[in-house]
Amino acid sequence: MSQSHDANNMPALGLKIRGTTGYSIGLLVQQGNFLLYLPVALLCVANALQGTIDPNNSMLDGCADYWIFTVAAICFLTTQLRDLSNVNLLSYVSLACVVAVIILAMQIVSSTQNEDKKDASLFGNPDMNSSDDEDKTKAWTNFMLGLSMCAWSYVPSFLTAELCNSRVMENPKDFPKAIYLSAALNVVVFLSIGVYVVSQWGWKVEDPLMFGVDGNMFLWPSDDVRSQVLNFFWLVACLISYALDSIPLGRQFQRYFNPNFDIDDFGVFACLKYMLYTSPTIILGVLMAVFIPSLFCMLAVATALTVPFANMIFPAWLYKCEARNATDLEKRDGAQALLEDGDDNIRLSLKFTRRLPLEWAIPVVSFCGWLVFLVCTAGAVGKLAIADLRGPLVVGCGSWEILNK
The answer to whether residues 54 and 357 touch, using CB atoms and an 8 Å cutoff, is no
CA distances from 8 to 47, 125, 248, 262 (A): 33, 42, 10, 16
Q: Which domains does the chain have, with CATH numbers?
A: 10-404 (1.20.1740)
Provide the pLDDT for residue 29: 93
pLDDT of 150: 86
Is residue 298 predicted with pLDDT exceeding 60?
yes
Q: Is the pLDDT of residue 294 over 50?
A: yes
Share of the chain above pLDDT 70, in %: 90
> In this predicted structure, what is the pLDDT of residue 88?
78
Confidence of residue 89 (pLDDT cuts 50, 70, 90): confident
Instruction: Say how far apart CA 39 and CA 45 lie, in whole Å.
Output: 10
Which H helix or E strand runs over 395?
Answer: strand 394-395
**What is the distance between the alpha carbons of residues 179 and 175, in angstroms, rounded to a whole number?**
6
What tens digit of pLDDT does each residue of 333-381 get? 544 444 444 334 434 444 444 445 667 888 999 999 999 999 999 999 9
- The pTM is what? 0.85
Q: How confident is the model at residue 73 (pLDDT cuts 50, 70, 90)?
A: very high
Q: What is the DSSP string of 358-394?
A: HHHHHHHHHHHHHHHHHHHHHHHHHHHH-HHHH---E
- Which residues 6+ apart lie within 8 Å of 273 measured at CB? 258, 261
Q: How confident is the model at residue 306 (pLDDT cuts 50, 70, 90)?
A: very high
Q: Residue 328 pLDDT more than 50?
A: no
Residue 49 burial (CB count, 10 A):
21
Which one, of 325, 291, 262, 312, lies nearest residue 397 by Cα? 291
Q: For residues 70 and 46, is the Cβ–Cβ distance under 8 A?
A: yes
pLDDT in the model for residue 326? 57
pLDDT > 50? residue 285 = yes
Least confident piece of the model among 37-46, 48-57, 216-225:
216-225
Q: Is the pLDDT of residue 191 over 80?
A: yes
Encode pLDDT of 98-153 as tens digits. 999 999 999 999 999 888 888 888 888 899 988 898 999 999 999 999 999 888 88
- Considering the chain, what is the average pLDDT of its residues? 86
Rounded distance, CA 41 to CA 242, Å? 6
Residue 343's pLDDT is 39
For residues 270-284, average pLDDT: 97
Mean pLDDT of 260-274: 95
